[in-house]
Structure 1
């Protein structure tokens, strides 16, 4: 199923034409540039997408390769795969579940969509594009009759409080509105619910390698 949706977004009351679609081979170079803008050092550069990984995305599960354009310019991307999710077995790493981003772990008979990556260019982050792409994934969860959307969300605000709070305590305070985290708070605003903290999830200095497993359940299941 090819995904394509055209609409307008508003930038300071000015309408701008926007499109969410599946990304293609001709988008690869720009997608890598987006990764570099979104995840500058100290984020490990080896974790940016490579052309081989992107080739797998559009070959193994092309439905899971999504990008967003604003007036014809690529502004962000979102990648996911299908997994067989067991609610009783939470512990995993990003590397394990995504096969180091090559998504050879994709299961065509899986019961959940798993978010591999969500990247919006800094210059476009005030336009709500992250939420728009998340809504596209929710539509796909419903269309494919899957149980949920799930994925590990970084917690980059945690480093500032690591000396005084455990990861779980930090997440509890973010959920309670006592603290604001750039990623967790955003995902909550998109309708995602925290499930648990994942330790050693991804090499990420700001999050001290922690992440929060966050889900959105299909309301029609």
Structure 2
């Protein structure tokens, strides 16, 4: 199981923190993180429920991570393994995660797929999201998977949708001409764009688009002989 002790910083001050697998007794805190991290207009029905979280810890506990500061859970990240075919990459978040229940988790797949990442707003200056992402990269390496992949929201797109396509918007963010709260963060974490997917998520700010972003495992070794 995963456990990592480290220091995170806010205003140059270090705070001891722990990244570990979340468990049943953490569920109420994880749901609270969802409510604080994804306020309206994000659909509240997409927040975690106890049944989904129970599947996460039972089906793939290695992909269920949370972060503690002073014994309080302040961030979480969830994933599952899928067999991803880049030549057939069109999908929605609901399809590839079984609507967050991850019953389609495939231990023999090639890709760690990010279901969700959330950080309580009061802790967003501590760099917690980047530490969680780094920890998921370590899971990818440990399980010898080809990549980490996930669809990022593009909430900043709503401001320019009248003049740019979603693909043009993503290109402008990658070039540094625009900043997006999610995509710019993923770029800082080492993720690179794969493609824009329409009807990825019911998300008014993103006009329902998602940007597939990956991190390739530099240590991956094929088991095919």
Q: Same fold (TM over 0.5)?
A: yes
1:141 aligns with 2:140: yes
Q: The residue matched to 2:74 in structure 1 has which SS?
A: strand
**CA deviation after TM superposition for structure 1 residue 198, in Å:** 0.7
Query: How is 1:100-115 mapped onto 2 (pairs within 5 angstroms)?
Result: 100-115=99-114
CA-to-partner distance for each residue in 1:10-56, whole Å, 9 max, x for gaps?
A: 22222211000000100001110110001111111110000000010
**CA deviation after TM superposition for structure 1 residue 87, in Å:** 1.5
Partner of 1:187: 186
**CA deviation after TM superposition for structure 1 residue 220, in Å:** 1.5
Q: Distance in 1 between matches of 2:9 and 2:41?
A: 33
Partner of 2:223: none
The count of corresponding residues between Structure 1 and Structure 2 is 220
Q: Distance in 2 between matches of 1:218 and 1:182?
A: 25
Q: Return 5+ residue gaps in structure 2 as ranges.
A: 221-225
Q: Distance in 2 between matches of 1:89 and 1:173?
A: 25
1:205 aligns with 2:204: yes
Q: Distance in 2 between matches of 1:124 and 1:177?
A: 25
RMSD: 0.6
Query: How is 1:85-124 mapped onto 2 (pairs within 5 angstroms)?
Result: 85-124=84-123
1:60 aligns with 2:48: no
**CA deviation after TM superposition for structure 1 residue 104, in Å:** 0.4
CA contact (8 A) 2:6 2:18 kept: yes
Q: The residue matched to 1:66 in structure 2 has which SS?
A: strand
Q: The residue matched to 2:123 in structure 1 has which SS?
A: helix
Q: Distance in 2 between matches of 1:206 and 1:36?
A: 17
CA contact (8 A) 2:9 2:127 kept: no
Q: Return 5+ residue gaps in structure 1 as ranges.
A: none
1:128 aligns with 2:127: yes
Partner of 1:14: 13
CA-to-partner distance for each residue in 1:138-177, whole Å, 9 max, x for gaps?
A: 1111111110000000000000000000000000100000
Q: Distance in 2 between matches of 1:4 and 1:16?
A: 17
**TM-score, structure 1 as length reference:** 0.98
CA contact (8 A) 2:63 2:139 kept: no
Q: Distance in 1 between matches of 2:195 and 2:178?
A: 17
